[in-house]
């Protein structure tokens, strides 16, 4: 079995009887056990995984199979998994066993996917490097002295290292796209509302969105087709049926027949060395698409607005961790106030506390108008920029990140420099749009990603275009084993 197989290749192998789901799970569990250096998993429960795989084999034998039946995947540890630890990368939840499954988890379980384990992440999904995890930093499989990106760094790293064929992640301000770019894989942040947030531990509810991290666009579409869908348990879940998405499990991504106009936002190329995007542009032009310049003029204020809004929402969402109902509780509290104060001080890490403090401040009387309200106005201007750009272009092409994966410990003492890493991913999140990062080359020996952005609910354009690109090029096939500079 090929170490870097796609979900579809594994599905075909299972269908042909080349191996069983139990054999496949055993194979991946052995790889995971022998590769601890990446620190990509927080929880692996071999017995549980093998029991699910055995059931998948029975289901396949009796003809009750979807393309995912028996195929292993990993879940970011932000998704609640019933009866299994769900820590969100935090000491606060280090002993939390979820009493129910997230909708995404139950949908994939029902399709027969086999959960290999829960992946490491920045605490409460706050971070761009995966150095904020209570369970230790994750390292980049292409170079162990570099970060894998965050906050879905564990998910991206295990897929890049071949320890799982695909994984789920979440993106609030870039946490699927940025680690996908840093680890040389394909990461899709769907339109806000496409994927249910039920059972996905909340960070900033108006921004959080789950999505797939995979080896290529076809796998991304396949995983999305099971993750997406209306859920009455999430009030922001969108009720819609897209035929192209329904067709994916049986037919894959439909071939793009139209020639598109692709917009390159000038603001995303200021002070960045992104020659590799030029190459992507040339490939698209050779395929018959047209490239034009567009402008997204409020790009430079997106980071400021995002960190006010995300912090404000986090400060209210995280007030539930009070040491009373679940999670970490301090020893021998002397009063209710002492219980709150010490449980939260002990249970939450420095970055999470920083967000709660700034978020609470931005929402407080006297500062609300100056910060929160202002940030919301900027959010609207950014969404308007995209709407205007989409009158000139069908899709937008830009770098995913300003530079390739930085070194461990390079930025974690400087929160503002760390926040700047998100400057190309955050605007899309504020506008609620779908965006995908696809591997498109190497810089300084590390993978780099191109970001494609589409109008709301047009993930089909992102996937169709990426599929075309991945038919023409083979960046998505490079692995840390085949590439020089490997750790």
Q: Which residues bind ligand GLN (CB under 6 A)?
A: 125-128, 151, 171-175, 203, 310, 422
Query: Smaller CB distance to ligand GLN: residue 154 or 173?
Result: 173
Provide the minimum distance between the beta carbon of 347 and ligand GLN in the complex, in angstroms, as a whole number. 19
Looking at 129, 175, 225, 343, which residue is catalytic?
Answer: 175
Asked if 437 contacts 177 with a C-beta cutoff of 8 angstroms, the reply is yes
Query: Smaller CB distance to ligand GLN: residue 131 or 216?
Result: 131
Provide the minimum distance between the beta carbon of 318 and ligand GLN in the complex, in angstroms, as a whole number. 13
Query: Smaller CB distance to ligand GLN: residue 112 or 432?
Result: 432
Query: Smaller CB distance to ligand GLN: residue 126 or 393?
Result: 126
Provide the minimum distance between the beta carbon of 150 and ligand GLN in the complex, in angstroms, as a whole number. 6
Based on C-alpha coordinates, what's the Rg of the chain? 21
Q: What is the DSSP string of 90-155?
A: -STTTT-B-SS--HHHHHHHHTT-EEEEEE--SGGG--SSSTT-TT----BTTBTTB---SSSHHH
Tokens of 180: 């996908």
Looking at 11, 90, 151, 237, which residue is catalytic?
Answer: 151
Asked if 126 contacts 351 with a C-beta cutoff of 8 angstroms, the reply is yes
Rounded CA separation 126/146 (Å): 18
76 is catalytic: yes
151 is catalytic: yes
Rounded CA separation 141/156 (Å): 9
Residue 256 DSSP label? P
**Rounded to the nearest 5°, which phi and psi values hold at 53?**
-65, -40
Position with the least CB separation from ligand GLN: 175
Looking at 20, 76, 118, 196, which residue is catalytic?
Answer: 76
Query: Smaller CB distance to ligand GLN: residue 119 or 172?
Result: 172
Rounded CA separation 462/467 (Å): 8
Provide the minimum distance between the beta carbon of 175 and ligand GLN in the complex, in angstroms, as a whole number. 3
Query: Smaller CB distance to ligand GLN: residue 328 or 423?
Result: 423
3-state secondary structure of 251: helix
**Which of 124, 126, 123, 122 has the alpha carbon at shortest distance from 156?**
122
Tokens of 481: 């084993």
Provide the minimum distance between the beta carbon of 172 and ligand GLN in the complex, in angstroms, as a whole number. 4
User: What is the dihedral sign for C-alpha 354, 376, 232, 48?
Assistant: negative
3-state secondary structure of 262: strand
Provide the minimum distance between the beta carbon of 315 and ligand GLN in the complex, in angstroms, as a whole number. 13
Query: Which of the residues are catalytic?
Result: 76, 151, 175
């Amino acid at each position: 079995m090929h170490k870097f197989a796609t979900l579809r290749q594994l599905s075909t192998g299972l269908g042909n009887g080349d191996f069983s789901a139990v054999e496949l799970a055993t194979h991946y569990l052995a790889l995971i056990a022998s590769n601890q250096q990446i620190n990509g998993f927080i929880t692996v429960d071999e017995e549980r995984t093998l029991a699910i795989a055995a059931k998948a084999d029975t289901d396949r034998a009796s003809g009750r199979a979807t393309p995912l039946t028996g195929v292993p995947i990993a879940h970011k540890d932000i998704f609640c998994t019933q009866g299994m630890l769900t820590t969100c990368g935090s000491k606060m939840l280090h002993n939390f066993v979820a009493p129910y499954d997230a909708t995404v988890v139950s949908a994939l379980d029902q399709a027969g996917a086999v959960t290999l384990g829960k992946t490491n992440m920045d605490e409460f999904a706050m971070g761009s490097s995966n150095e904020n995890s209570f369970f230790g930093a994750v390292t980049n499989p292409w170079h162990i002295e570099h970060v894998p990106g965050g906050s879905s760094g564990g998910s991206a790293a295990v897929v890049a290292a071949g320890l799982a064929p695909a994984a789920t992640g979440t993106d609030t301000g870039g946490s699927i796209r940025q680690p996908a770019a840093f680890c040389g894989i394909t990461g899709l942040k769907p339109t806000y509302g496409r994927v249910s947030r039920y059972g996905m531990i909340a960070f900033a509810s108006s921004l959080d969105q789950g999505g797939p991290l995979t080896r290529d666009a076809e796998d991304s579409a396949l995983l999305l087709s099971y993750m997406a869908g209306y859920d009455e348990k999430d009030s922001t879940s969108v009720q819609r049926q897209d035929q192209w998405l329904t067709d994916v499990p049986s037919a894959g991504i439909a071939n793009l027949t139209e020639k598109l106009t692709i917009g390159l936002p000038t603001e995303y190329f200021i002070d960045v060395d992104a020659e590799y995007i030029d190459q992507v542009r040339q490939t698209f032009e050779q395929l018959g698409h047209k490239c034009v310049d567009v402008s997204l003029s409020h790009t430079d204020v997106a980071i400021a607005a995002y960190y006010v809004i995300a912090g404000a929402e986090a400060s209210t969402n995280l007030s539930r961790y009070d040491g009373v109902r679940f999670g970490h509780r301090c020893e021998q509290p002397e009063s209710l106030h002492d219980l709150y104060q010490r449980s939260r001080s002990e249970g939450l890490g420095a970055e999470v506390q920083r967000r709660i403090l700034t978020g609470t401040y931005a929402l407080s009387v006297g500062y609300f108008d100056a910060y929160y309200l202002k940030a919301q106005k900027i959010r609207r201007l950014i969404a308007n920029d995209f709407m205007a750009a989409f009158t000139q272009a069908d899709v937008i092409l830009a770098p995913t990140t300003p530079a390739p994966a930085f070194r461990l410990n390079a930025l974690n003492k400087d929160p503002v420099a760390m926040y700047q890493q998100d400057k190309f991913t955050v605007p899309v999140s504020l506008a609620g749009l779908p965006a995908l990062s696809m591997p498109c080359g190497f810089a300084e020996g590390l993978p780099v990603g191109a970001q494609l952005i589409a109008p709301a609910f047009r993930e089909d354009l992102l996937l169709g275009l990426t599929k075309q690109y991945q038919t023409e090029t083979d960046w998505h096939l490079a692995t840390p084993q085949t590439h020089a500079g490997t750790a």
